Amino acid sequence: MSRGEFLVKSFALTAVVACVVGGGSTLLADRYSIGIDPQQSRCLGYRVFFIDKTDKIPERGKIFTFKALGTEPYFPNGTLLTKMIDGVPGDRVQVGHDGVVVNGSQVPTADGLYLAVTLNKPESRYIRDEYLATGKYWFSGRTKDSFDSRYWGTVDETQLVGRAYPLW
């Protein structure tokens, strides 16, 4: 094999390897991402999440990432938030001074309306009793200061990004 043939074959092999590695990376990035919670008070107790963007089948008790809408001025539209799904379509959700109840069961650590004062709104603004419509989900954190569905309502299924798995 001449030096020229060797260089051509080496270049071709390098190009193939680069395409395979680049294509694989693109496929992985299309399916998975890493979410990082930069806040000091983490509503689920974890800072880093592995997000599977192809797993969009919401289930009660599972952690999901979604694109926030209607959470301004605290989070701009499109901000990715990660919370626990506590209510699914058809569920009865009651929000009161003492916390959140879904289908008769208290949501863990959703203690009242702790953030109403911080949000400069009366608690009465957030008190409600509703059934979740088709395609609507109720998201909660696990700390009293979680900015969650108590304050901004339901998340539409079109906002779901994917299931999130806590890493640390």
Residues 92 and 62 in one domain: yes
Report the distance separating Cα 63 and Cα 51, nearest Å.
Answer: 10
25 and 46 fall within a common domain: no
Asked if residue 79 has pLDDT above 50, the reply is yes
pLDDT for position 28: 56
Domain of residue 127: give its range.
37-166
pTM above 0.85, yes or no: no
CB distance 144 to 112 below 8 Å: yes
For residue 60, give the nearest of 104, 23, 107 by alpha carbon: 107
Residue in 115, 121, 128, 119 with CA at minimum distance from that of residue 154:
128
Residue 12's pLDDT is what? Answer: 41
Q: Give the pLDDT band of residue 1 (cuts 50, 70, 90).
A: low
Mean pLDDT of 2-12: 44
Residue 141 and residue 79 share a domain: yes
| Pair (106, 162) in one structural domain | yes
Whether residues 7 and 53 fall in one domain? no
Instruction: Indicate the number of domains in the chain.
Output: 2
Q: Do 17 and 87 reside in the same domain of the chain?
A: no
Distance from the Cα of residue 155 to its chain's centroid: 10
Shared domain check, 65 and 20: no
Whether 22 shows a pLDDT value over 70: the answer reads no
Tokens linked to 152: 């901004």
CATH label of the domain that carries residue 69: 2.10.109.10
What are the structure tokens assigned to 141, written together? Answer: 């954190």
Instruction: Give the confidence band of 103 by pLDDT, cuts at 50, 70, 90.
Output: very high
Same domain, 27 and 110: no
